Amino acid sequence: MFRTSGNVCLEISNFRPCEIPQHCLQLPTFRTNDLPETSNSCYLASVIISGPRRRRAIQLAHRVLARLADRSPSPPLHTQRQRKDPGDIRARSSSIRISQARGEEAEDEQPAGLSGLTMLPQMVAGKGGYSWKAAKARIPPYRQITHGVRSPRFLVPLAIVTAIVLLWRSMGSAASEVQRFYCFGPSKPPMRMTPNENEEWYGHLTTPVVFNHRKPIEINSTEIQHINLDLVKSTVDAVRNKEKILLLTPLRDASYYLAKYFDLLTQLTYPHELIDLAFLVGDTTDDTMAALAMELERVQNNPEIAFRSTMIVEKSFGVAGYGQSVEERHGFAAQGPRRKAMGKARNYLLATALKPDHSWVYWRDVDIVENPPNIIEDFVQHDRDILVPNVWFHRYKEKQGKMVDIEGRFDYNSWQESPDALKLAATLDKDVVLAEGYKEYKTNRIYMAKMGDRHANPHEEIQLDGIGGVNIVVKADVHRSGVNFPAYAFENQAETEGFAKMAKRAGYGVYGLPNYVVWHIDTDEKPGNA
């Protein structure tokens, strides 16, 4: 045991005694060259540190060990070497133990400033490469590892890295959270705002106020159906918005016309999956029901032309006694009772077939023989409450040896009111139906049938006061509002003409297209009816 200055002592022991000059151990002038020449020796050096110069003592121990290792080589730790001379065989071992007097700190032989954790891979591997015995011998003790983990050199960088990671991860959510508390107005307290700034600031307050708040009621009953008619619109973009159309046709003794009717119906270009068909059959004496059922089956069994749905309503109104020849049906004497019965039939059919999802109602007579295939698209683009076309008919007569189409005018029920008609209506009983288009009443009304040029602009519009029922396109909300076809005298008009009068009284617009022609079958009415 040799003591040095600063209350530091260095003990170097050998299995074989050796003499070391005491001046070699003086700090800090110790020189390793002063160590005696020894061989076949293994040294055990320890430093007991209890003074302020402990680091210098540790460095001294490293130098002593290095010097002794250079002069007296020894085999690897915990290994044995065999030599040819049995007398010279001796097991040697060396180690360095550096500890504080308080037993709180330990360091292995490594450069100053490096912790045990940073030198762990080198200590395990050694110079001879990786091996299990060498690795096991060089693994630092548990106490040294725990001390390294607890040391500030490890904890401080770990805390800094953790703080950076947490800060980086919180930046994204923090930015969005800040936006929630963004306040409108200048960056000054309200007491320092000008009157204009204060008014502008309070004008952007959107604090919700709920009085007498009630918890919403949850209804799970399957027997209660909720329908929101606010979502049902009638727009010019009917196809794009997938607006559904209800096509209605009342039938009586119509078996002869059904084949042509369905040929034209299947040619409509409006998407058939958006069209619902509904028919009312009543007071018929022919095979209308059977012919209708067969045509519907033929159409619906063809996926390319099938419609969304079909419906047949059967209802008779007790008017079968009236003759149904063409001349009798369109004669003046039959117009009053016929119009009232037709009004009932239309209203029954409408009330039965109209569904909440229908946006448009298309009334179409069974005896139309020609029309543009895109007639529905053309009409909805006008965005009118009620719209009708001009209705003519083909009639061929021989002139100079050639058959010539006279293009007869058919529908005199579409007209504009006149002062003479208003004076005449004032003299009639309120229950009298004023049938237009007949010579019995001189009304001097302006008939759309006598207007128009089918070669001119087909989308030209005029306002009407009365309409016919051959082809009518109506917004469904007009019917939902209670405007229907009066089966009685409404302002001395009934059925479709009364429908137009009622719609105008309710504030809806009634329009006609004088240059847009739909062709009706030739009725061969009596001369002088118009």
pLDDT tens profile 253-276: 999 999 999 999 999 999 999 999
Contacts within 8 Å (CB) and 24+ apart, 333-336: 335/433, 335/435, 335/438, 336/432, 336/433, 336/435, 336/494
> Cβ distance 458 to 378 under 8 Å?
yes
Per the model's pLDDT, the better-predicted residue between 213 and 517 turns out to be 517
Residue 44 pLDDT > 60:
no
- 4: which 2 tokens? 């040095």
Domains delineated in the chain:
2-105 (no CATH), 240-520 (3.90.550.10)
Distance CA 92, CA 457 (A): 119
Q: 512 falls in which pLDDT band (50, 70, 90)? A: very high
pLDDT tens, 196-211?
888 877 776 677 788 8
Token pair listed for 449: 């049938």
Q: What angle do CA 134, 135, 141 make, to 5 degrees?
A: 115
Residue 152 binned pLDDT confidence (cut-offs 50, 70, 90): confident
User: Which pair of structure tokens corresponds to residue 445?
Assistant: 């009304």
Residue of higher predicted confidence among 472 and 48: 472
**Eight-class DSSP state of 106:** B
Question: What percent of the chain stands above pLDDT 90?
Answer: 46
Q: What is the pLDDT of residues 279-306, one digit of tens each?
A: 999 999 999 999 999 999 999 999 999 9
How much is the pLDDT for 440? 76
pLDDT at 198: 81
Coil/strand/helix, residue 274: helix
Q: What is the pLDDT of residue 388?
A: 98
Which residues are paired to 48 by β-bridges? 9, 99
C-alpha span between 57 and 96 (Å, rounded): 13
Whether the per-residue pLDDT at 33 is higher than 50: the answer is: no
User: Over the range 323-360, which residues count as b (16 or more CB within 10 Å of their CB) and which as e?
Assistant: ebeeeebbbeebbbebbbbbbbbbbbbbeebbeeebbb
Helix (H) and strand (E) counts in the chain: 14, 18
Q: Is the pLDDT of residue 118 over 50?
A: no
Cβ pair 433, 489 in contact under 8 A: yes
Tell me: the pLDDT tens digits for 409-445?
A: 999 999 999 999 999 999 989 988 887 766 778 899 9
Which residues on neighbouring strands pair with residue 2, listed in sequence order? 10
